[in-house]
Amino acid sequence: MTAQYFYCTQCHKKVSTSLRLFDALYDFSKADPESCPACGAARELHVSLDFQLGVGDGDFKVVQAFLPEKLESWLGEEEEEVTLYPFLVVLEGARGKQFHWMPYWHVVGKDARFGQHALCLDHKQFESLIAQAQERTLAPV
């Protein structure tokens, strides 16, 4: 299981959120977290993940979260609309190392199903893939 909480950079208060991970990331992709109710300073969103990314204790600061501008939807098995939410999340570990994490959910009605195969790449690997894809796309025919 994952856990997520807000961390105040000023008074160092940690407040765990009852939001599901999907909702916490979705909200974060749309707006900065609400400021600290105790001191009014900006707060960070942190996630504790139960899988190892090769550094630290599994506690990560969410630096950025993105969704594509246009989401894909289709009709599922029971004629319900299914929407894919592929996130690109920049995480920062305890030693300041950043990762690109790509969790995704299939949302059917109010049900958000977590995809099982989230990618996690370090910055250099991610940049290398994007650079190659852009190079290929931009290359003259």
* CB of 50 closer than 8 Å to CB of 2: yes
Least distance from Zn ion to the Cβ atom of residue 44, Å: 11
Comparison of 43 and 100: residue with beta carbon closer to Zn ion: 43
Residue 6: closest CA among 50, 15, 24: 15
Contact residues toward Zn ion (CB under 5 A) are: 8, 10-11, 36, 38-39, 41
Least distance from Zn ion to the Cβ atom of residue 82, Å: 40
Measure the CA–CA gap between 99 and 102, rounded to whole angstroms.
Answer: 10
Measure the CA–CA gap between 67 and 17, rounded to whole angstroms.
Answer: 21
Comparison of 44 and 122: residue with beta carbon closer to Zn ion: 44
Measure the CA–CA gap between 23 and 5, rounded to whole angstroms.
Answer: 12
Comparison of 32 and 81: residue with beta carbon closer to Zn ion: 32
Least distance from Zn ion to the Cβ atom of residue 13, Å: 5
